[in-house]
Amino acid sequence: MEGAIAVEPETTTQAVCYRHPSRETAVSCANCERPICTDCMVYTPVGIKCPDCARLPRSAIVRLRPDRAARAILAAFLVGGGMGVGIVILQDVGLFFALILGWLIGIGMGEAVLTASGRYRAPTTGWIAVGGCIWAYAVPYLLYYGANFGAVARSAGLVWVVLGAGVACYVAYNRVQ
């Protein structure tokens, strides 16, 4: 340590807030252990945290268990498949209903993924839900056209489906993460 010789043991400089270098503090974040001043302290059920750590959802610190991730993906796949069949039945219902359907699918997919993952809220599970919604909207086209994307692009109602899928993805992601 350079300069350590000049420092008296009893005059060691106190830690300063990492966000306010002019403020000394004896408190540090329970999560990242950076020193924080009284203005920066955030009281949480698991102790005093810095604003950065307090903003993170608790689930972002606990890792998503692989078995739960697998269950969430499986749920998104199965629920999405079921919803896809539902979309086939309810097709040609018009824009307004397509948007409501997208909203309902987003909620349903969000809940399915949340339940399967043990209510793990994070971008990871959010994207699994988004994938499930896209899958749900892809199913009708796979049933009709197989992998013929040209036919998909030419089919009537694609705009409604894209809008509905967009709404579903948005709702599902925000519900889960």
> Which residues are near Zn ion by CB under 5 A?
17, 19-20, 29, 31-32, 37, 40, 50, 53
Please, what is the minimum distance in Å from the beta carbon of residue 103 to Zn ion? Answer: 36
Structure tokens at 82: 């079921």
Longest CA–CA span in the chain (Å) reads 81
Contact 108, 82 (CB under 8 A): no
* CB of residue 13 to Zn ion, shortest distance in Å: 16
The least CB distance from residue 21 to Zn ion, in Å, is 9
Question: Integer distance in angstroms from the first to the last C-alpha of the chain?
Answer: 44
Distance CA 61, CA 54 (A): 11
Q: Is 34 left (phi over 0), alpha (psi -120 to 50) or beta?
A: beta
Nearer to Zn ion, 31 or 59 (CB): 31
Of 29 and 161, CB closest to Zn ion: 29
Tell me whether residue 20 or residue 121 sits nearer to Zn ion (CB atom): 20
Tell the smallest beta-carbon distance from residue 58 to Zn ion (Å): 13
Residue 63 corresponds to which tokens in the numbers above? 């890792």
> Closest separation between CB of residue 1 and Zn ion, Å?
25
Nearer to Zn ion, 61 or 158 (CB): 61
Helix (H/G/I), strand (E/B), else coil: 28: strand
- Of 33 and 67, which CB lies nearer to Zn ion in the complex structure? 33
Residues 6+ apart with CB under 8 A from 156: none
